[in-house]
Structure 1
Amino acid sequence: MKLSLPSRVGAVALAGVIAVSLTACGSDDPVADAGSPSGGASADGGSSNLSGQLNGSGASTQTSAMDAWRAGFQQTNSGVTVNYDPIGSGGGVTAFLSGAVQWAGSDSPLVNPDETDKAKDRCFGTDAIDLPVYVSPIAVVFNLKGVDKLNLSAKTIAQIFDGKITTWDDAAIKADNPDADLPSTKITPIHRSDESGTTKNFTDYLNQAGEGAWSYDADKVWPIKGGESGAQTQGLIQAVQGGDGTIGYADESQAGTLGQASIKVGDTFTAPSAEGAAAALDASPRDDTRTEHDIAIKLDRTTTAAGAYPLVLVSYAIACGAYDKQADVDNVKAFLTYISSSEGQQAAAGAAGSAPISDKLAADVKASIDTIKLAS
């Protein structure tokens, strides 16, 4: 396997949009083996006669899964070089709307008119489509000396991140952790400094499940001025690791050795898991206001379904309904078909601990991908 140095994503790429190219991988590569098709041209991965560059950028939560997806896809499509820059959902959407990349990864679908209108211009008069391809719990991560396990309700989490609970021995935290030896250490909340779909999912959870303790709308931009922050998932994790009494939020697959709080669901506390994320997704309806072929999930953060972990993110691949080059049409369709297939979803689960989407949802995603066409 060859891994190239960072390269610019096309001549029109925005400043700072860097893509790491993963070229065709041999069978001795462990990542490639974890997500590789079974050999030959794959019906899921596309025809091996595909060629060219396929550029994407966006959600850093998809990084581990994307490594497996690129390796698996390129084993049977060695003529295609897949580039993905995990600059965050906001940066990825901006790059996509500018035409710098062919698809974006985002932890929330396109929602506001500014985005959808720009998408129609970028997509040659067609609508962009949001395709759920990555499902994972968001962990409330913490670093507190002497404390390895922690239970927190959504209301308590909201008060912590709003600065209303400021020490770890606060009565509200003690009530959920009666057997824990909680120190009087100051709490230092860490939030994402960049536009982030993870932030939008986290603030949506606090807004829906926080029992009125969170007074802000769901947003990609952290709504509270000041405080400590980290750029992208890696920066936030490093900031939490770097202090005592810190707390943050991140895709569970990136939590490493940090403590992960169990959140209150109904009358029980549930730890983050792929199974819990899948149960929360199954308990949530789709957004029926979307355009045809666009698939967005309206996550129910207040579900009390058994085993559900409602602090979950659904990360999307955002693509155009039409492209002006046949190579882009073919490459985008083949790659997205692979990552949403059972094979691609299992590769992501193995690499990132994500929850595979259901067969029914995968079939709907495939039907949407099949509509991508050459612009007329």
Structure 2
Amino acid sequence: MKIATRTGVIATATVLTLALAACSPSNEEPTESTSAVATDAATAAPEAMALSGSLNGAGASSQESAMEAWRAGFQTANPDVTVNYDPVGSGGGRTQFLDGGTLFAGSDSLMDADEYATAVERCDGDAGAVHLPLYISPVAVVFNLDGIDNLNMDADTIAQIFDGKITNWNDAAIAAQNEGVDLPDLEITTVHRADESGTSNNFTDYLEKASSSWPYEASGEWPNDLGESGPGTSAVIQIVQDTSGTIGYADASRAGSLGTVSLKVGDEYVPFSAEAAAAVVDASPLAEGANGANDLAYELDRTTTASGAYPLVLVSYEILCQQYDDAAELDLVTGFLGYIASPEGQAAAASAAGSSPISADLSAEITGILNTISGN
């Protein structure tokens, strides 16, 4: 099936206000703007393709707000389709996909060599699975301190905080980068993900590459037992919201009214924004060892000193097979992901989640890849 597309250009990076609805450790309700975004997106969505049936996916909780908008827009244009997405986390999503429980997975981190091999067995044919980058967002370092909305920190300071080497908010290393800020004499409580998480993988990858103080390898599994933890983005945000003196990390779309950290990049401190996130992705090469030309997996440059770049960014992927023997499954997967990749789908995510839209060139490249996905 060929993917219907529309012409038009969407800005590679639009500076957007990132809104956060009230959260709880359970799955959130759609954000306040989701319904309006879905209605607008549906009116401009790619031409309906007479699809029907259920499409099941699972994975990254970072995509949850965007996925609500994508599901609503696509289902409005295709009323006989039901799209289900379980924001179980990147690791859980990849597991469900590789076990054959879902037709696609959302993931903030790439498949490893063993998962690539398993995908060859899971997918029809022997072409295996590929990554399509469809959600780009900064990862925010969030904190809860009364009266303080923003702090400056370099990568070494953040690494030492999350490794228990800096334990008080008025530590000299923090104070030196924040002249004039009345830092409290208060113990720091770190908050991390309890589940295997692509957000954790991106955060620890940044700490490993951008600092000289992080002693662990990048991983989706948090490497130490310090502080508090919660399963999923919602739980991390909830803990930080509820407890003064906490600091954690989460997809920036969920930062809401929490304090956030501007990262030192070169000689400046850069706050998160869609623009700053896109600047890093545009400067990053594709990863070595990818599964052919259709596998758009990035090796992000965490050590850039480019002005205005924000290197703590995640690229969240949809992972799908390169062949589906069931024609109905093929049409559902490629139809839905084609909508996500379209300017309309990317605009819906940007409005609902504050993500950075992929470029028009990348949108066209992904559409071309989806047109090559085969089925019997």
- The TM-score with structure 2 as length reference comes to 0.88
Quick one: distance in 1 between partners of 2:303 and 2:179?
Answer: 24
Q: Which residue does the alignment assign to 1:216?
A: 216
Aligned residue type for 2:119: A
Flag structure 2 segments of 5+ consecutive residues without an equivalent: 1-25
- The answer to whether the 8 A contact 1:107-1:316 is kept is yes
Alignment deviations for residues 255-290 of structure 1 (CA, whole Å, 9 cap, x no partner): 111111111111111111111111111111112431
- The answer to whether the 8 A contact 2:27-2:234 is kept is no
Q: Which residue does the alignment assign to 1:262?
A: 262
- The answer to whether the 8 A contact 2:122-2:128 is kept is no
Quick one: distance in 1 between partners of 2:353 and 2:42?
Answer: 15
1:306 aligns with 2:307: yes
- The answer to whether the 8 A contact 2:274-2:355 is kept is yes
Quick one: distance in 2 between partners of 1:368 and 1:129?
Answer: 10
Q: Which residue does the alignment assign to 2:134?
A: 133
Quick one: distance in 2 between partners of 1:297 and 1:327?
Answer: 30
Alignment deviations for residues 278-321 of structure 1 (CA, whole Å, 9 cap, x no partner): 11111111124312211111100111112111100000000011
- The answer to whether the 8 A contact 1:37-1:73 is kept is no
Alignment of 1:276-295 (within 5 A): 276-292=276-292, 293-295=294-296
Alignment deviations for residues 193-212 of structure 1 (CA, whole Å, 9 cap, x no partner): 000000000000001101x1
1:332 aligns with 2:333: yes
- CA separation of 1:297 and 1:176: change in aligned 2, threshold 3 A: same
- The answer to whether the 8 A contact 2:190-2:226 is kept is no
Alignment deviations for residues 25-79 of structure 1 (CA, whole Å, 9 cap, x no partner): xxx942422422427xx24xx51x1111100011111011111111111122111
- The answer to whether the 8 A contact 1:19-1:84 is kept is no
1:361 aligns with 2:367: no
Structure with the larger RCO, 1 or 2 (CA within 8 Å, 6+ apart): 2
Alignment deviations for residues 147-177 of structure 1 (CA, whole Å, 9 cap, x no partner): 2221111110000000000000111001110
1:241 aligns with 2:241: yes
Aligned residue type for 1:268: E
Could you say what secondary structure the match of 2:44 adopts? coil
- CA separation of 1:335 and 1:264: change in aligned 2, threshold 3 A: same
- The answer to whether the 8 A contact 2:136-2:314 is kept is yes
Q: Which residue does the alignment assign to 1:143?
A: 144
Could you say what secondary structure the match of 1:350 adopts? helix
CA drift at 1:226? 4.3
- CA separation of 1:286 and 1:144: change in aligned 2, threshold 3 A: same
1:30 aligns with 2:36: yes
Quick one: distance in 1 between partners of 2:257 and 2:40?
Answer: 23
Alignment of 1:71-220 (within 5 A): 71-110=72-111, 112-124=112-124, 125-210=126-211, 212-220=212-220
Quick one: distance in 2 between partners of 1:193 and 1:290?
Answer: 28
Aligned residue type for 1:183: P
Quick one: distance in 2 between partners of 1:33 and 1:373?
Answer: 31
Aligned residue type for 1:340: A
Could you say what secondary structure the match of 1:261 adopts? strand
- The answer to whether the 8 A contact 1:31-1:67 is kept is no
Aligned residue type for 1:338: Y
Q: Which residue does the alignment assign to 1:342?
A: 343
Which ranges of 4 or more aligned residues in structure 1 deviate by more than 6 Å? none
Aligned residue type for 1:64: S
1:373 aligns with 2:374: yes
Q: Which residue does the alignment assign to 1:5?
A: none
Aligned residue type for 1:30: A
- The answer to whether the 8 A contact 2:57-2:105 is kept is yes
Aligned residue type for 1:187: I
Quick one: distance in 1 between partners of 2:357 and 2:176?
Answer: 35
Flag structure 1 segments of 5+ consecutive residues without an equivalent: 1-17, 23-27
- The TM-score with structure 1 as length reference comes to 0.88
1:231 aligns with 2:222: no
Q: Which residue does the alignment assign to 1:54?
A: 55
Could you say what secondary structure the match of 1:218 adopts? coil
Aligned residue type for 1:241: Q
Quick one: distance in 2 between partners of 1:38 and 1:94?
Answer: 34
Number of aligned residue pairs: 346
